[in-house]
Amino acid sequence: MLAMHAATPLPSLFASHGSPMIALEPGATGTFFARLGLAIDRSFGRPRAVLAVSAHTLMRDNVLLGARRHEAVHDFGGFPAPLYGLRYDAPGDPALAEQAATLLAAAGWRSAVLDEGGLDHGIWTVLRYLYPEADVPVVPLAMNPRATPAQQFALGAALAPLREQGVLVLATGSITHNLQRVAATGRFHAPASDVQAMDEIPPSAAFRTWVHERSTARDWAALFDYRRQAPAAYDMHPSDEHWLPFYVAAGAGGRDALPVRVHDAVTFGCLGMDAYAFGAGASALAVAAA
C-alpha cells in the first residue's frame, strides 16, 4: 500500500550488493535490506519510483532505460542453477526517465532515453529485499565509468530534485571490490554464514574506516581524491566502477548533508557490504532501519 510522503525528502542510498548469491542467501545484508525497505516506507512513504545506478550498467553517455517493464538480467556465470531461476519483473516509468533526462540536460549532461528494459544483478538483488513484490517502478540510469568521482557527484546533484518527488535514488556497487582477493579465499560459492564469519583483512578494514571517517567529516575533497589519499585504494579497487556509484548517491543527497553509514558488514573477509544514506533524513532512516 502506498503511503503519504513525508515533508523531508527521501534520502538517497548507496548499497554494496556483494555476490549475486545474496539473492538466494540473504545473510546479514539481505536481512538489513528488508528492514531498510520497511523503514523507508514508515519514515518517508513508499517511493513512487526508484532511479537506479549500478556498477553493472555502464555506457559512455548517460542512458536511461525507459521501458514500461523490466526483467532481472542474470549477468553472471558459474553459480548454482536455482539462482538463474529467480525473477524480478518490475514496472518501468517512461515519464520518470524523460524527467531525469531533462534534469540532466539542464545541468549540462548529455543523456538519452531508450525504450529498453532490464535490471542488472546490482539492481535486482537489492530491490528483491527492499521491495519483494516488485511493485515499485524502476528506471535504470547507465553510468559512465570514465567520469571522475567529482563528476559522478555532480551527476547525482542534478538528480537531487527527484528526491522531493518521492523518487528513491539508489546507487549500488561495493565499498571494497577486489575479486582476486575474493577468489583467493576459495569460498566464492560458500554459504552466506561461512563467508560472513571470515576475519576481515587489514586493507579492507582500513579502506572502509577511512571512508566512514572522511564521510562523517564531509571531507569531499579527500573523498574525491580517494585514489591518492585512501589507504589500500588500489588493493580494494583495482578498477573503480564499483565504488563510483557512491558519489552519485552522495551528490543526490547534497554536499551539506551528513552522510550516514546505515549498514556495516564484510563478506569473504575483503568484500565490504556497507550502505550509506545521504540527505536530511539519513539519520532518521538509520535509526528506523536499525
**Per-residue pLDDT, 46:** 96
173-195: pLDDT as tens digits: 999 999 998 888 866 665 566 56
Residue 2 has pLDDT above 60, yes or no: no
66-116: pLDDT as tens digits: 999 999 999 999 899 999 999 999 999 999 999 999 999 999 999 999 999
Give me the domain span that covers residue 269. 12-289
Cross-strand partners of 15: 172, 275
> Contact, 52 vs 139, CB < 8 A?
yes
CA-to-CA separations, 206 to 12, 175, 229, in angstroms, rounded = 25, 12, 12
Residue 4 lies in a domain: no
Residue 7 lies in a domain: no
Residue 197 has pLDDT above 80, yes or no: no
- Please state the domain count of the chain: 1
Residue 138 lies in a domain: yes
Residue 3 lies in a domain: no
CA-to-CA separations, 149 to 122, 190, 221, in angstroms, rounded = 19, 33, 10
129-184: pLDDT as tens digits: 999 999 999 999 999 999 999 999 999 999 999 999 999 999 999 999 999 988 88
Residue 181 identity (one-letter amino acid) = R
* pTM, rounded to two decimals: 0.94
Cross-strand partners of 119: 72
**For all residues of the chain together, what is the average pLDDT?**
93
User: What CATH number has the domain bearing residue 221?
Assistant: 3.40.830.10
Residue with cell 552466506: 192
Residue 1 has pLDDT above 50, yes or no: no
